[in-house]
Structure formats: structure tokens, C-alpha cells
């Protein structure tokens, strides 16, 4: 075991899979010799060769097409989109092509592709680098959308994603890349897709969240515990499909729930979680379902991030409101 | 009279000669004997049979669509030389990525006719392709097949296969971003792909001139640093000869080729309510009718004593019979089930999907 950052855990997972399966290919803009703009693919080209880890021309749509074509030839592509804000260039390949191939050809062709993309606020990026666009992808049938919140999960989820025989979007929150270290086993292991975790157990209020908001929520749970308010935190880990069993079990236990996302209120997947709870567990609810999300504006100019992004204070306020309803 | 050219000279990444390659003129006379492909009499007759087959398939598909026995159909009449000539030069092991008008090539590549009809009707069974059918179903998103072809071609190269990826778009499609990205990616990776632009002059109602100020579409290859060749798409010998050489060029490790076929579609863009008399100038149809690929190749073969009305009638009758049988087979296909769609979303159904499978199966089994 070693202490690793989330980005090291991701690199670790990629190395395991390159080693294990000769069909795994990693490609994208500057992922080769350069090791990626965040060093996620550091040293992988040196170790596995230019035929396994290679740069592409600067064209996201071409990267998507390349992944689809290589998958048809039996490869297991792990392409990178440098920042999730650039996904619009490749939406057709992801949601209109790769996502529908198994369905379109009744399983006679499949697309075992893992699209990696960094996203997320709090690190003062230029425009269209940090946008939380998971909602767009989660609404597309045929793909799974994974968002780890810590190094351990990132490694296990990445290995699971690469081994999945259907397309997966793996979203890596930039603020979580190096903000903390955690024990991560050196050997390979899997964190199953579509399964949430419960990093903090509690009895009074459930916070259902994902990505960078998990750490913020844990802070709130720890603080409120001192006042005797027992908060449970559910980390979705996969935002499509949702782990309804874990969500519902938590809601049925606490009867009060706050859904937390970094995305704008009209975006993300918070509304989906709320509607599932309303549809399946309304009789267990002691209060309306609370929601914490960003304002419905375009992602903020860098200097305004602090005022715009949801944080622990917003979550604490909402949890108190629902607790005291 | 076509200018004297050498296909070998055109096939290099420094090529800037976009003279249209032609072997047969409108009267079926050989104008470029040096370019004549090495084809036996039997092979020449096969090419004619293919074109007659395709013309009849077009006529019957139009009629069947009007009767409501087919769904989506994009007419192919006029493009027989471009479609059948190119696919005849392609091997079974090559990977075909067709556009929505490229159904004849797909059938020649191995798709059973009744499946092509099922595809037209909107039935999943039309797209069930065995491993041995190296193709994707017709692509609806114009340009997507180009970037995917670059990926397939890179895969073929990495696997060390001596095969190519073959894809088609139209003149309008050459304006798409994916068109450029596709040829540029294939070029950058030196991947074995053959990209066709079937320039039939019109993208629905938009004339070719409005797509680009470029004098030829073949010259767009220059942007990717790959060879571009313009060929008379109404001349099956020229299309065949150019495709054959392009394939040799690509499998020899030289990289991709872009081929523009100058052709015409007799009839509307699709049968979904489009009427070309609303936008095409009067006389255009007549002008192109004279260039009909069947007329000139028929004359060529007749002059060689290889073709007759009787032979043509035989092909026509056999094709009509084949179509009748295929429609019958398509009619027998069981109705689609939503539960099957759900089962084909993922390898293992997610919880949500499993729930929906059970709900639909309960309904379907009532």
C-alpha cells in the first residue's frame, strides 16, 4: 500500500490495464511523450510503446471516430478528451455513435471504450475547462457515466470501466487530482460500476452527492455530528445508471434527504435523483427533498468561482433546513 | 475526349492534377486505352450485370416505397458506375462504412437483400451483421463514417492486415468537419483508407457550387496531404480502375486516398417528399440522362459482342425475382419487441433497464 493522489491512482489503473490486455490503447491530445496535461499518462508511452499510448491530431471528433473504428477492429480504446468542455466537438461520436452501436447492431458489434475527461471547478481554469456536463451524458442511453471522488475509488472504477464491454465516460474532477492522498493498494482491484458507497453513515439526514461535493459533504457531516445531527453521506460514484438500492435504503432509514451537485440547478443529475426518490420513497419522507446546486448561469469567470460554486456552507445550511423542517 | 493521364502519377501525395479520369466516353468509346483495367470478358459482363441489377433494385425500391412496402429509401439511379464500379474493386475482407445512399455496395459486400429491406423499413434485424460481413450499417450522420473509417484503417494497419477501410459520402458531406478530420487523421497515421465523395451535384436542393468555391472536391485531399483523384463517376471502367489502384496504393502502406466521382442521381434525394423539379434547372436531368452509365457501358460491351438485349432481360427478370423473394423474407421477420431493444443496450442490463425489461415482457407475453 502507498499513499497516492487521485491522479497517481488513475495512472496506476491505466498501467495495470495496459499490462494486462494488449488491446488496451490510450490516445488523445498530448497523452504520449508529454504524459498528458495533468500527467495522468506519465511514463506510459515509455513503458508500453508508441503503438499503445499515442498522440492524436487536435480534433476531438476525430478522436471519437478513431476510438469507434479501433473498437471495431477488436481494440479496447481509452481515449482522452483534454477537458470535458470540449466534449461538444465529439458529442456525435460519444452519444450518437458509440453509445448506440450495441443496440443498433443487436449485439453483433460492441464498443468497449472508456472516454476519460477532466472537469470541475475550483482551480481557476480559463473558459470551458471546468463545466459540469455530466447531465448531458447521463441523459444519453447506452453509456455509463462514472465520477470518482477519491484515489481508491478512482483506481478501482477506472479498471472496472476499461474492462466493461460498453462505453463508459470517466470524469475526473480537476480539484481532486492532487488535493489529498489516500492509501491505495498497489495491486489491481475493482470498484463495481453502478454501485454507490456510503463514506459516512448516519440516521437523521441523507446527503446524496458525487464528485468534489463528496468531500464538502463529509466535512458537513463531521461538523454536524458534534451537534448530535447524524448525517449519512452517499457517494454515487456512478451517476448513470444510479444505484437506486443504496439511495433508497438511505432515504428509507433517514426520511430526510439533500441532493448535492456542483453543476447548475438545471443541469447535473440531481433532478434525476430527486425524481427517483419522489417516485419510489415518498411515503418515507419527513420533509421535502432539499437540493444544493450552482446558479443557472454559464460557468463563472475564474475570479468568481468562490462565490458561485456550491460549498460546505451551502450544504450545511440546506441540511439544517431539511433537518428542522 | 479525356486527357491522357496515368493513375500512378495521380496517386502520390504531391499530386495537384485533378483532371477527371475517364476511360469510356458517352458513346461507349475508349478514350484512354492506357488506363484500361485488366478485366476478363466475364468480369466485364459482371460489371454490367451489377449495374442492371442495381438499376432494377432502384426501380423496384421506388415502387415498393410508394406502395408502403419499404420505408426510408435514397434513390441510386445514375450512380451505378460510381457505386458498383468501386465496390467491384474492393475485396470481401475490406471494411465498408457506407452512407445512407450506399445500400447497393453493402449488398454486394455481403448483406442479404432482405436485410437491406428490413433496414429500410426500420427493423433491427436489418442490422444484424455476422463477423464475416466486414461492414457497418448505412450511416445517417453525414461525415461520421469518415472519422470512423480513419479509426478502422488504423486498426487494420496495427493488426498488420492487408486490407483497407472504404467509405462514401456525397458532395454536401465534403463540407462537414468530420470529412476533414477523417481524411486528416488517416493521413497523419498513414492508415489504409479509401474515401469516396460521390459528387452527384446536389445535396437535397443545394447545388455543389454552394458547398465550396473549390473547383474540384478531389483537391480537398491536399488539405490532408494525401492523393486526391477525380474520376468520371458515370464511367464504370474509370471508377473501377482508379479504385483498384487506390486500393493497391493503400495496402502497400502508402496511406489513404480521396476519390471524387462525378455522377448524378436520377430522381429525388430521398422518397420522403423531396421533388427535384422544384430546385433543379430544367434540362439538367435530360443532360445527364445522356451520360447514363448503363448506356455507355452497354454500347461498349455490345461493340465487343459481349452483351445483348436477351442477356439484359435475363438479369432484369432474375433481379425482379430476387427482390420478390427478399420482400417475402422480410415480411416473415417477427415483429420487434421493446424488451429485445432493452436487452441490447448493455452487455448486462442495469437495474433500471432490468426493471423495464420485466415490465415490457409482461406486456408482450399477454
The per-residue pLDDT for range B123-133, each reduced to its tens digit, is 999 999 999 99
**C-alpha grid cell for residue B291?**
451520360
> Which of A189, A66, A162, A84 lies closest to B158 in space, CA to CA?
A66
Percent of chain A with pLDDT over 90: 100
Q: Which residue has the cell 415490465?
A: B359
Mark yes or no for CB contact B155/A92 under 8 Å: no
Of A68, A107, A241, the CB nearest to B151: A68
Q: How far is B35 from chain A (nearest CA, A)?
A: 34
CA distance B150 to chain A (A): 6
> What's the pLDDT tens digit per position in A178-224?
999 999 999 999 999 999 999 999 999 999 999 999 999 999 999 99
Average pLDDT value for chain B: 96
Which residues of chain A neighbour B177 with C-beta distances below 8 Å?
59, 61
Residue contact A69–B149, C-beta within 8 A: yes
Grid cell in block for residue B57: 433494385
DSSP A88-154: GGGHIIIIIIGGGHHHHTTTSS----EEEEEE-SSS---TTSS---HHHHHTSTT-EEE---SHHHH
Collect the ranges in chain A with pLDDT lower than 70: none
pLDDT digits (tens, 9 = 90+) for B94-126: 999 999 999 999 999 999 999 999 999 999 999
Q: Are B182 and B245 in contact (CB under 8 A)?
A: no
Looking at beta carbons, which residues of chain A come within 8 Å of B156? 73
| Closest B-chain CA to A76 | B155
Q: Is the pLDDT of residue B3 over 90?
A: no
Question: What pLDDT score does B107 carry?
Answer: 98
> Cβ–Cβ of B150/A245 closer than 8 Å?
no
Nearest residue of B to residue A92 by CA position?
B144
Active site residues of B: 265, 269, 279
* Percent of chain B whose predicted confidence (pLDDT) is above 90: 91
Instruction: Verify whether the Cβ–Cβ distance A65 to B148 is below 8 Å.
Output: yes
Closest residue of chain B to A52, computed from CA coordinates? B158
pTM confidence score = 0.97
Q: Which of A188, A47, A238, A317 is nearest to B346 (CA)?
A: A238
Cα B171 to Cα A72: distance, rounded to the nearest angstrom? 27
When scoring B167, B184, B350 by the number of chain A Cβ atoms within 10 A, the one with the most, hence best to mutate, is B350
Nearest Cα to Cα of residue B13 among B194, B245, B199, B221: B221
Q: A59: distance to nearest CA of chain B, Å? A: 7
How many residue contacts between A and B have a Cβ separation below 8 Å? 134
Chain B's closest residue to A73, CA to CA, is B155
Q: How confident is the model at residue B1 (pLDDT cuts 50, 70, 90)?
A: very low
| A268 burial type by CB count under 10 A (0-12 exposed, 13-18 middle, 19+ buried) | buried
A306 is catalytic: no
Quote the pLDDT of residue B274: 84
Is B154–A165 a contact, with Cβ atoms under 8 angstroms apart? no
Dump pLDDT digits (tens) for B225-245.
999 999 999 999 999 999 999
* Cis peptide bond upstream of B130, omega within 30: no
Sign of CA dihedral B206, B211, B213, B215: negative
Q: Under DSSP, is residue A196 helix (H, G, I), strand (E, B) or coil?
A: coil
Q: What's chain B look like in SS3?
A: CCCCCCHHHHCCCCCCCCCCECCECCCCCECCHHHCCCCCHHHHHHHHHHHHHHHHHHHHHHHHHHCCCCCCCCCCCCCHHHHHHHHHCCCCCCEEECECCCHHHHHHCCCCHHHHHHHHHCCHHHHCCCCCCCECCCECCCCHHHHHHHHHHHHHHHCCCCCCEEEEEECHHHHCHHHHHHHHHHHHCCCCEEEEEEECCEECCEEHHHHCCCCCCHHHHHHHCCCEEEEECCCHHHHHHHHHHHHHHHHHHHCCEEEEEECCCCCCCCCCCCCHHHCCCCCHHHHHHCCCHHHHHHHHHHHCCCCCHHHHHHHHHHHHHHHHHHHHHHHHCCCCCHHHHHHCCCCCCCHHHHHHHHHHHHHHCC
Mean pLDDT (whole number) for B238-254: 98
Q: Do A51 and B158 touch (CB under 8 A)?
A: yes
Q: Say whether A312 sits in a helix, a strand or coil.
A: helix
The per-residue pLDDT for range A153-189, each reduced to its tens digit, is 999 999 999 999 999 999 999 999 999 999 999 999 9
Chain B residues within 8 Å of chain A (Cβ atoms):
95, 124-125, 127-131, 136-137, 141, 144, 146-156, 158-159, 165, 177-178, 181-182, 184-185, 188, 340-341, 344-347, 350-353
Amino acid at each position: 500500500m502507498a499513499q497516492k493522489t487521485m491522479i497517481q491512482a488513475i495512472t496506476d489503473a491505466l498501467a495495470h490495464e495496459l499490462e494486462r490486455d494488449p488491446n488496451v490503447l490510450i490516445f488523445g491530445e498530448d497523452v504520449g511523450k508529454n504524459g498528458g496535461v495533468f500527467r495522468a499518462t506519465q511514463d506510459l508511452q515509455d513503458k508500453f510503446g508508441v503503438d499503445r499510448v499515442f498522440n492524436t491530431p487536435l480534433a476531438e471528433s476525430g478522436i471519437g471516430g478513431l476510438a469507434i473504428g479501433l473498437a471495431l477492429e477488436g481494440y479496447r480504446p481509452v481515449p482522452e478528451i483534454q477537458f470535458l468542455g470540449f466534449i461538444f466537438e465529439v458529442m456525435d461520436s460519444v452519444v450518437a455513435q458509440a453509445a448506440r452501436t450495441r443496440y443498433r447492431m443487436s449485439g453483433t458489434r460492441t464498443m468497449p471504450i472508456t472516454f476519460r475527461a477532466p472537469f470541475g471547478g475550483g482551480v481557476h481554469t480559463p473558459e470551458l475547462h471546468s463545466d459540469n456536463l455530466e447531465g448531458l451524458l447521463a441523459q444519453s442511453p447506452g453509456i455509463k457515466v462514472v465520477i470518482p471522488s477519491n484515489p481508491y475509488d478512482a483506481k478501482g472504477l477506472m479498471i472496472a470501466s476499461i474492462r466493461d464491454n460498453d462505453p463508459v465516460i470517466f470524469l475526473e474532477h480537476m480539484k481532486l487530482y492532487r488535493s489529498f492522498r489516500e492509501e491505495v493498494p498497489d495491486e489491481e482491484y475493482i470498484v463495481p460500476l453502478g454501485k454507490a458507497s456510503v463514506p459516512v453513515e448516519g440516521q437523521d439526514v441523507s446527503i446524496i452527492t458525487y464528485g468534489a461535493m463528496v468531500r464538502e459533504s463529509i466535512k458537513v457531516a463531521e461538523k454536524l455530528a458534534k451537534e448530535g445531527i447524524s448525517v449519512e453521506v452517499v457517494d454515487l460514484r456512478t451517476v448513470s445508471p444510479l444505484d437506486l438500492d443504496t439511495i433508497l435504503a438511505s432515504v428509507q432509514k433517514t426520511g430526510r434527504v439533500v441532493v448535492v451537485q456542483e453543476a447548475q440547478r438545471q443541469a447535473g443529475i440531481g433532478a434525476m435523483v430527486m425524481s427517483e426518490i419522489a417516485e419510489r420513497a415518498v411515503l418515507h419522507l419527513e420533509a421535502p427533498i432539499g437540493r444544493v446546486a450552482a446558479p443557472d448561469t454559464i460557468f463563472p469567470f475564474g475570479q468568481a468561482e468562490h462565490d458561485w460554486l456550491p460549498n460546505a456552507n451551502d450544504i450545511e445550511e440546506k441540511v439544517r433546513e431539511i433537518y428542522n423542517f | 475526349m479525356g486527357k491522357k493521364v496515368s493513375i500512378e502519377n495521380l496517386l502520390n501525395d504531391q499530386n495537384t492534377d485533378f483532371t477527371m479520369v475517364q476511360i469510356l466516353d458517352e458513346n461507349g468509346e475508349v478514350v484512354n486505352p492506357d488506363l484500361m483495367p485488366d478485366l476478363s470478358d466475364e468480369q466485364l459482363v459482371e460489371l454490367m450485370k451489377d449495374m442492371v441489377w442495381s438499376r432494377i433494385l432502384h426501380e423496384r425500391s421506388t415502387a415498393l416505397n410508394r406502395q408502403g412496402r419499404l420505408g426510408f429509401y435514397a434513390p441510386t439511379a445514375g450512380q451505378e458506375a460510381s457505386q458498383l464500379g468501386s465496390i467491384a474493386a474492393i475485396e470481401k475482407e475490406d471494411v465498408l462504412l457506407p452512407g445512407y445512399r450506399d445500400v447497393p455496395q453493402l449488398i454486394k459486400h455481403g448483406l442479404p437483400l432482405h436485410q437491406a429491406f428490413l433496414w429500410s423499413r426500420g427493423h433491427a434485424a436489418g442490422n444484424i451483421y455476422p463477423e464475416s460481413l466486414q461492414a457497418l450499417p448505412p450511416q445517417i450522420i453525414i461525415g461520421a463514417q469518415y472519422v470512423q473509417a480513419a479509426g478502422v484503417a488504423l486498426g487494420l494497419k496495427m493488426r498488420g492486415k492487408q486490407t483497407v477501410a472504404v467509405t462514401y459520402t456525397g458532395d454536401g458531406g465534403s463540407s462537414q468537419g468530420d470529412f476533414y478530420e477523417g481524411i486528416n487523421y488517416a493521413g497523419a497515421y498513414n492508415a489504409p483508407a479509401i474515401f469516396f465523395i460521390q459528387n452527384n451535384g446536389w445535396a437535397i436542393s443545394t447545388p455543389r457550387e454552394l458547398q465550396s468555391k473549390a473547383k474540384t472536391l478531389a483537391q480537398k485531399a491536399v488539405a490532408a496531404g494525401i492523393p486526391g483523384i477525380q474520376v468520371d463517376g458515370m464511367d464504370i471502367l474509370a471508377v473501377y480502375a482508379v479504385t483498384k489502384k487506390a486500393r493497391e496504393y493503400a495496402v502497400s502502406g502508402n496511406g489513404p486516398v480521396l476519390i471524387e466521382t462525378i455522377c448524378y442521381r436520377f430522381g429525388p434525394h430521398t422518397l420522403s417528399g423531396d421533388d427535384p423539379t422544384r430546385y433543379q434547372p430544367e434540362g439538367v436531368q435530360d443532360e445527364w440522362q445522356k451520360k447514363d452509365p448503363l448506356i455507355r457501358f452497354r454500347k461498349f460491351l455490345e461493340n465487343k459482342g459481349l452483351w445483348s438485349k436477351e442477356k439484359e432481360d435475363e438479369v432484369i427478370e432474375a433481379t425482379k425475382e430476387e427482390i420478390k423473394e427478399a420482400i417475402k423474407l422480410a415480411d416473415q421477420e417477427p415483429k420487434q419487441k421493446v424488451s429485445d431493444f432493452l436487452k441490447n443496450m448493455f452487455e448486462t442490463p442495469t437495474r433500471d433497464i432490468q426493471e423495464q425489461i420485466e415490465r415490457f415482457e409482461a406486456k408482450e407475453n399477454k
